[in-house]
Amino acid sequence: MEPVTYKPIGRIETPYTSREGMPIQAKGGEGIRGRIVLLPAYAKGLQDLGGFSHLILLYHFHLTQDTRLVVTPFLDTVPRGVFATRSPNHPNPIGLSTVRLIEIRETVLEIEDVDIVNGTPLLDIKPYVPAFDHRQPERLGWLEKAGADLQQTRADKRFI
Cβ within 8 Å of residue 116, ≥6 positions away: 12, 14, 16, 34, 57, 59, 95, 97
Radius of gyration of the chain (CA): 16
Question: Which residues have CB under 8 Å from 71's CB, separation 6+?
Answer: 79, 80, 82, 85, 87, 89, 158, 159
Tens of pLDDT, residue by residue over 88-129, are: 889 999 999 999 999 999 999 999 999 999 999 999 999 999
pTM given for the model: 0.84
| Model pLDDT for residues 9-68, shown as the tens digit of each residue | 999 999 999 888 888 777 778 899 999 999 999 999 999 999 999 999 999 999 988 899
User: In the chain, what are the domain boundaries?
Assistant: 10-130+137-153
**Confidence category of residue 87, pLDDT binned at 50, 70, 90:** confident
pLDDT band at 156 (very low <50, low <70, confident <90, very high): low
In this structure, which topology does domain 10-130+137-153 adopt according to CATH? Elongation Factor Tu (Ef-tu); domain 3 (2.40.30)
DSSP string, 67-128: --SEE--TT-SS-EEGGGS--S-SSS-EEEEEEEEEEEETTEEEEES----TTEEEEEEEE-
CA–CA separation, 160 and 155 (whole Å): 10
Q: Please, what is the average pLDDT of the chain?
A: 89
Cα 103 to chain center, whole Å? Answer: 19
As a residue count, the chain comes to: 160
The DSSP bridge partners found for residue 9 are: none
